[in-house]
Amino acid sequence: MAKKNQKKGSYKPGPVVQQPITETLELNFMPYAMSVIMSRAIPEIDGFKPSHRKLLYTMYKMGLLTGNRTKSANVVGQCMKLNPHGDSAIYETLVRLSRGHEALLTPFVDSKGNFGKFYSRDMAYAASRYTEAKLAPICQELFRDIDSNCVDFVDNYDSTTKEPVLLPTTFPNLLVSANQGIAVGMASNICGFNLAEVCNTTVAYIKNPDCDLFATLPAPDFSTGGEILFEKNVLEEIYRTGRGSFRIRARYRYIKKQNIIEIYEIPYTTTIEAIIDKIADLIKSGDFKEISDIRDETDINGLKITINLKRNADPENLMQRLYRQTPLMDSFSCNFNLLVAGTPRVMGIREILEEWTAWRYECVRRRLYYDLEQKRNRLHLLMGLSKILLDIDRAIKIIRETEEEDEVIPNLMIGFQIDKDQAEFIAEIKLRNINKQYILRRIADTEKLQKEIVSIENILKSRDKVMKIIIEELEAIAKKHGAPRRTGIVYDFDLSTPEIEETVEDYAVNLFLSSEGYFKKITPLSLRMGGEQRFKESDELSQTFEASNADEVMFFTNKQQVYKCRLFEFEDSKASVLGDFLPAKLEMDEDEVVLYMCLPGDYSGHMLFFFENGKVAKVDIAAYQTKSNRRRLTGAYSDKSPVVAMFHIQQDEEFAVISSDTRTLMFNSALLAPKATRSVAGVTVMSLKSNRRVVKAVKADESGIENTSRYRKRKLPSPGSLLRPEDIGENQLNMEL
């Protein structure tokens, strides 16, 4: 009520409590950072992050290792008992581990339905209520003997159930499953390796820690295939330190009959859409004219990107260029960072195998101790059973004559000199089994148990025998679950970037530019047969040139920019069409229009820019020449005053400048000193009165002025002379005063 009675704006905040930054970091930031590192982003020695481990153990407890598939939504719901996160985060984990998503070379979830594709950003997975899942057969190796006390169990987040700290994987899953995580101040990026190769490498390492890793583990292996460019020194560094990057590229096949390239495997680090978008941009910019079309033809049969080639295109040369300019060849950066005994460590493969072998050794020993204890307990019970072998009737008599049920066990213990566990075991025998044959069969197991106990004790005394068990398990896994490599290895390759000469068909063309920015490139034959040029009603022809298809062209705009293109980048046109609209074709800025078209040729000559303030800039056209293939240059001319006209001249010529008060000045461009700077403001040519401006600038021979000597000046600047009516010829250009 007190809050309701307060007047608006009368609330006063409480006092601000100052806290030292060091205390804030210690009390707030450090616990958060440790939680992310320890419980979220970094995998442990079993190769799993906590979210992966909790999900797989949930599915194991649901009986999905041998049973039928269940709805993914059911798995997600059950997993929340161990993983207190939203259903979407848990389902994304399930999707990544699934066979259908194809993110892992050795998937752990046997999926049914649409789980999306790892190599596509647009192929999204269906909702969890539509898909089904169970554990894949390889998970038998994850949960083997998990109930034999081979790993520790801890309480879940609300202490209602138990969960394993690690899964007792019987193979180095850390190297088999690709894993990526970003923690606070550190990250992890582990590439996947082939399961059979990892198992064989582990066996070789156990037998000889100084073995040659490349003999059994030649290179990483990825679910998306592709080809690894084998650089021995690079991979040696990765194997030794756990850090480094290697190159992987796509695989393709050329179908000569259809003149197409089919890309059917791509690098693990990219997607179909990223590749197509990049190639499309390069086609649009004119870098790959050999390509007529590119499309995504991925279907239920797998990934496929199809590239249609133009006639006479060299597919091998094209692919080498695509490798260098698109994600079809990419780098995988390795950072083998994992948690070992709660401590983040970046380790090489040999160190990882050493840690995994030591951890697995302890798992097997704990399993053996558990089995030994179970067998000893069983033997102990059978030894008690053997004591009643010669006097079964006496045991029955003791039970029958005992008046109270609680006294049965003590009476048996006294009557046969056995302990409580043995008496409990005897007392629980069913009435139908109290016969000599049953007891003799049970006692016959005693000798077998004694031999097994001795065998286990001998194994526990010998490290070599424990290691032999690990080796046998690894060999069995490689044989049962191993599969051929998907990613190829290329030993002979060239990473240099040679100069690629583009073959451009060269022929004569005629160029037409309209006032509104429509451009046409027409061959002489088409021009002769095409008839009259077509323009929009409000449009008209602005410039026309004769040129060659291989020539370069520059388009100056009203935004002080120039766009550079090659004429072969434009399709041949006809007189009957409007042509290419340059602002759209060249992706110009908003409200940007073309003012002038120029053919620079060998970049000789000068550009003249006439401005409203009476200044003229003479710029060496070589200032627009660039070594790189830049399509747009900013600062093409000065923005100090609006431009009235511009010209490209090979040699000095006479020009006529007309102001808004009809004053006219003729001068030779030789009076102007050329400049190398594009955005130079120029020098004053026409002296203007207040509120006057230059409205026209034309070449003298195109001005239509009869008596040119009257307006010609040899010294600049000059106000010019008033244009007399008798000097205006029939061909005089109209002036917009």
Query: Quick check: is 288 in a domain?
Result: yes
* Residue 645 shares a structural domain with residue 726: yes
* Residue 621 shares a structural domain with residue 677: yes
Residue 575's pLDDT is 86
Query: Quick check: is 729 in a domain?
Result: yes
Domain boundary among 327, 345, 380: 327
Whether cis (ω within 30° of 0) applies to the bond prior to 717 is yes
Q: Is the Cβ–Cβ distance between 595 and 558 less than 8 Å? A: yes
Q: Distance between CA atoms of 272 and 183, rounded to whole angstroms?
A: 28
* Residue 610 shares a structural domain with residue 711: yes
* Residue 666 shares a structural domain with residue 706: yes
Q: Is the Cβ–Cβ distance between 191 and 222 less than 8 Å? A: yes
Residue 271's pLDDT is 94
Q: Distance between CA atoms of 422 and 404, rounded to whole angstroms?
A: 19
Supply φ then ψ for residue 243, to 5 degrees. Answer: -130, 150
Please name which of 706, 707, 708, 665 lies closest in space to residue 687, comparing C-alpha atoms.
665
Residue 719's pLDDT is 87
* Residue 297's CATH number: 3.30.1360.40
If DSSP codes are grouped into helix, strand and coil, which group holds residue 245? strand
Q: At a CB cut-off of 8 Å and minimum separation 6, what does 291 contact?
A: 279, 283, 307, 308, 309, 310, 313, 318
Q: Is the Cβ–Cβ distance between 352 and 337 less than 8 Å? A: no
Q: DSSP labels for 584-598?
A: HHTTPPTT--EEEEE
Task: Quote the number of domains for the chain.
Answer: 5
* Residue 50's CATH number: 3.90.199.10
Q: At a CB cut-off of 8 Å and minimum separation 6, what does 617 contact?
A: 607, 608, 609, 611, 637, 638, 675, 680, 681, 682, 683
If DSSP codes are grouped into helix, strand and coil, which group holds residue 706? coil
Query: Quick check: is 177 in a domain?
Result: no
* Residue 458 shares a structural domain with residue 373: yes
* Residue 608 shares a structural domain with residue 736: yes
Residue 341's pLDDT is 86
Active-site residues: which are they? 130
CA angle 697, 701, 706 (to 5 degrees): 100
Query: Quick check: is 189 in a domain?
Result: no
DSSP state of 692: -
Query: Quick check: is 196 in a domain?
Result: no
Domain boundary among 278, 312, 327: 327
Q: At a CB cut-off of 8 Å and minimum separation 6, what does 290 contact?
A: 309, 310, 313, 314, 318
Token pair of 387 as six digits: 């004591």
* Residue 308 shares a structural domain with residue 395: no
Q: Distance between CA atoms of 508 and 190, rounded to whole angstroms?
A: 58
Domain boundary among 166, 185, 211: 166
What b/e sequence results for 695-732 when a residue is b if at least 16 CB atoms lie within 10 Å of its CB, and e otherwise? bbbbebeebebeeeeebbbeebbbbbbebeeebbeeee
E strand spans, 371-434: none
If DSSP codes are grouped into helix, strand and coil, which group holds residue 563? strand
Query: Quick check: is 179 in a domain?
Result: no
* Residue 569 shares a structural domain with residue 606: no
Residue with tokens 């526990």: 460
Q: Distance between CA atoms of 680 and 608, rounded to whole angstroms?
A: 11
- pTM greater than 0.95: no
Query: Quick check: is 60 in a domain?
Result: yes
Residue 736's pLDDT is 43
* Residue 74 shares a structural domain with residue 134: yes
DSSP state of 517: S
Average pLDDT, consecutive stretches of 10 residues, N- to C-terminus, the chain (737 residues): 50 75 82 79 92 95 92 95 89 95 95 94 93 96 92 92 94 94 89 96 95 95 94 94 94 93 95 94 85 91 92 87 92 94 92 95 95 91 78 81 84 84 82 74 81 93 94 95 94 65 74 91 85 85 89 92 88 87 89 92 91 92 79 88 92 90 88 89 89 89 81 84 74 45
Q: Distance between CA atoms of 288 and 294, rounded to whole angstroms?
A: 11
Query: Quick check: is 86 in a domain?
Result: yes
* Residue 378's CATH number: 1.10.268.10
Structural domain including 666 reads 602-737
* Residue 393 shares a structural domain with residue 463: yes
Residue 735's pLDDT is 44
Q: Is the Cβ–Cβ distance between 612 and 693 less than 8 Å? A: yes
Q: DSSP labels for 350-407?
A: HHHHHHHHHHHHHHHHHHHHHHHHHHHHHHHHHHHHHTTGGGHHHHHHHHHH--SGGG
* Residue 417 shares a structural domain with residue 445: yes
* Residue 123 shares a structural domain with residue 58: yes
